[in-house]
Amino acid sequence: MILLGSMFVVTLFGAALAHPVEGEATTAQFLANEAILVSAGETKILFDPLFTHSYGYPLVEPDTKARLMASEGEFDGVDAVLVSHVHGDHFDAPEMNAYLAAHAEVILVAPHQAQLDMRAAAGWQEGFVERLRILPFTAQPQELVIAADDVADAIRIEAVHIPHAGGPGRSHIQNMVYRVTLNGEATVMHLGDATQDPRDYTPHQAHFQAHETHNAFPPYWLIADWGGDRVRATLNADHVTGIHVPINAPISVRASREDFFTEAGETRAVHGHD
Ligand SMILES: [Zn+2]
Ligand SMILES: [Zn+2]
C-alpha cells in the first residue's frame, strides 16, 4: 500500500512535466511482431525492425520493408534503430549491416551480442563502429543520449537487462528493456521478450519508478499473465500496448479488454494523461 501511494505521486509529477507540443504529436506505428516506428516530429526511432524468421509471428510486409530499407515514406529521416535482443524474430545481422551501409546517419543501439553477430555476418564494415552504441551485458541501468536533427538530447535512452522469457534455458540471451524519451516530451518503453517472472523486475523497481512512461510495449504474455493494471503499475506506464502477438492470436489476447498491436500499420498516439 505504501508502494502504491508513492507511485501515484510519481505518476502525477511525470504527467505535469510531459506535454507534447501541438502539431508534433508522437505516434507509434506497428510494423510486425515487435517492430515499431516511433515518430516525434523530425525525431524517429525504430525498435526491432529487421528480422527474417517468423516462428509463428508476423513478418514485416515486403513493401513496408522495402520502404524501410530505402528510407521512403514514414521511414524518411530515421535517427536511431534499437534492437532488444538477437533472436531471429527481432534481429537479422546481414540485414542490419545492409541497413547501416545504406543509411550513413543512423545510430544503432544494441546489445553486445548483436555486434558479435554483425561482425560475423555478410556486409560488416569496420566503419560502422562509430555509429554503434553497444550495451554491455550487465545488470546495471545504462543511459545513452543521442543527438538528432540538431537537438543534442533528442533521444534519451535508459536501458536495463530483463531476462528473456522461457526460464534458465534462455538466460544467455541479453534482452534489453528500453525506456526512450523523445525531445523531452514523450516516453515509450520497449521490452523485447522480457520474462513474466516478477522476481526479475523487483531489482529494477527504482529504475521503473524514476520516470513515467506514456506508452509501454510489453510482449503480450506479460499482460496475459499479470493483467494490465499490474503491468502499468510495475512499469510506471500510463498506457500499455501488447506486442509479439502470434499470427493465431491466443484467447488471452482475443478475449482481453487490454490494448494490443495486431494489424500492420496501426498506430497509437503517445501522450501522458492530461
Ligand atoms: Zn526472443
Ligand atoms: Zn521474440
Q: Which ligand is nearest to the CA of 169?
A: 1
| Of 15-24, 119-128, 157-166, 245-254, minimum mean pLDDT range | 15-24
The whole-number pLDDT of residue 273 equals 52
The whole-number pLDDT of residue 271 equals 81
**Mean local confidence (pLDDT), 211-240:** 98
Q: Which ligand is nearest to the CA of 163?
A: 1
Residue 13 covered by a domain: no
Residue 15 covered by a domain: no
Residue 172 covered by a domain: yes
Query: What nine digits make up the cell of 38?
Result: 516511433
12 CA to middle of ligand 1, Å?
Answer: 34
Predicted confidence (pLDDT) per residue in 66-106, tens digit: 999 999 999 999 999 999 999 999 999 999 999 999 999 99
CA distance readout (Å), 27 to 38, 44, 47, 182, 188: 6, 10, 13, 11, 10
pLDDT surpasses 90 at 242: yes
Residue 2 covered by a domain: no
Per the structure, how many domains does the chain have?
A: 1
* CA-derived radius of gyration, the chain: 17
Residue 273 covered by a domain: no
| CATH, residue 196 | 3.60.15.10
Tell which residue, 158, 157, 160, has the closest CA to residue 140. Answer: 160
Q: Provide the domain limits for residue 49.
A: 26-260
The whole-number pLDDT of residue 23 equals 52
Unique residue bearing C-alpha cell 512499469: 235
Residue 233 covered by a domain: yes
108 CA to middle of ligand 2, Å?
Answer: 19
118 CA to middle of ligand 2, Å?
Answer: 19
The whole-number pLDDT of residue 89 equals 98
Residue 10 covered by a domain: no
70 CA to middle of ligand 1, Å?
Answer: 27
The pLDDT > 90 percentage for the chain reads: 88
- Top pLDDT among 4 and 144 is at 144
Residue 14 covered by a domain: no
The overall average pLDDT reported for the chain is 92
Predicted confidence (pLDDT) per residue in 19-49, tens digit: 444 556 899 999 999 999 999 999 999 999 9
